[in-house]
Homo-oligomer: A and B are copies of this chain.
């Protein structure tokens, strides 16, 4: 069967500094397979599929594609948080219709657990409808929450190494700030992403593996009352004169005036109150045992789009995972996610494998309890050994022109629209 069919790549959920490296891996690798025709990028993920907005990535210059390595977040083809619920049958049928209209034989879905589930469902429906669609997942998330808790489906997700590196650097420089300014600002609270899973705040420990800083790390998985937290911080102040606190956005401090996204997840960046602010307010309200006041930083999305802190290891792995997914797709292996598995032994070494989408979709990773220290506000050396190789060694060098970063700018070349207009079901009034 020498049929040439086209490929659609779509992204879903929050971006990372390396999501575009997976995209680049897909675009560049697809050129090597005769069976793959045009590579389209769904504009804003599944929304772009439903709206038949398919950016022609094969028509873009090699330079712009290569620059994806240094272009953070998802501005190039776009992402979304559109939830394809099982009862949205019109949406599912529309997706199949769009794929049929554009001779799409391959769907590569870059995302987290929810996305793997969506990709799996679409592939099954396509099969039912007699459309030969190969669906392959490409893992992506800064939270490192894709897969299982035993690291057997996947060792770590592309995106995590870079945000871990971000926190390594942020805590190093914040410690200089706190050490210098402690007579006025003895407590510096920094809020990390990751909702209910603590891999991101845990990465703060990479800044100080020898435990020389007055650093306290609070994961959502290791809850305590604000009063207990304040006791620990104040003890640190009495002994060190200062304290750097890294806390998860999902740490339970009571009501935050929560705003939910379409997946029902809390949008911590949109809530009425942040955890960081709640902690600062509580500490200042009960009073510190020294002069000065607590202050807080809430970097928010910055941690998922600060290109300069991207891990070179993460960038390379994200690219390779994209390649692996194309390889699986070209081989007709539908229903799998490309994955990264760590080889045993003390020297960091990985291999690229595949794992069934359905298995990923039904699994839920948690932060290993044994990696939280008995104190409840630190993580163990075992975590450091796990995370350290992922952040890489050297800083990457960003291409700049006249001081500013040079980032991918795709030409707005879209596939011709062949179907009638369509409003995604969840977007209808």
Contact = CB atoms under 8 A, between A and B. Distances in A.
A201 interface: no
B295 A270 contact: yes
B300 A302 contact: no
A214 interface: no
A72 interface: yes
A180 B298 contact: no
Contact of A177 (B73, B81, B308, B395): B73
A380 interface: no
A57 interface: no
Interface string A393-429: 1110110101111010000000000000000000100
B308 A75 contact: no
A404 B175 contact: no
Contacts of A174: 301-302, 305
B300 A295 contact: yes
Nearest to A262: B184
Q: How many copies does the complex hold?
A: 2
A183 interface: yes
Contacts of A388: 403
Interface residues of A, number: 85
5 contacts: A73-B179, A73-B180, A74-B176, A169-B405, A296-B298
B173 A307 contact: yes
Contact of A295 (B15, B207, B301, B405): B301
A402 B302 CA distance: 24
A275 to B, nearest CB: 12
A83 to B, nearest CB: 10
Interface of A: 11, 14-15, 44-45, 47, 71-82, 165, 168-170, 172-185, 188, 206-207, 257, 259, 261-262, 267, 269-270, 272-274, 277, 280-281, 284, 291, 293-302, 304-309, 388, 391-395, 397-398, 400, 402-405, 407, 427
A77 B179 CA distance: 9
A269 B291 contact: no
7 tightest A-B CB contacts, nearest first:
A74-B180, A269-B295, A297-B300, A75-B179, A75-B176, A81-B184, A270-B293
Contact of A403 (B281, B301, B393): B393
Nearest to A396: B395
Given A174-B302, A180-B78, A295-B300, A207 B73 contact: no
B261 A272 contact: no
Contacts of A79: 180-181, 183
Given A170-B302, A181-B14, A274 B277 contact: yes
B291 A427 contact: yes
B393 A293 contact: no
Nearest to A293: B270
Given A180-B78, A185-B269, A173 B291 contact: no
A397 B395 contact: yes
B270 A277 contact: no
B184 A261 contact: yes
A383 B172 CA distance: 33
A296 B300 contact: yes
B284 A259 contact: yes
A404 B172 contact: yes
Nearest to A14: B181
B308 A295 contact: no
A170 B405 CA distance: 10
Max chain B Cβ within 10 angstroms of own Cβ: one of A74, A184, A298: A184
A131 to B, nearest CB: 26
Nearest to A276: B298
A299 B301 contact: no
Given A75-B175, A302-B174, A403 B183 contact: no
Given A273-B277, A393-B400, A183 B80 contact: yes
Contacts of A74: 176-177, 179-181
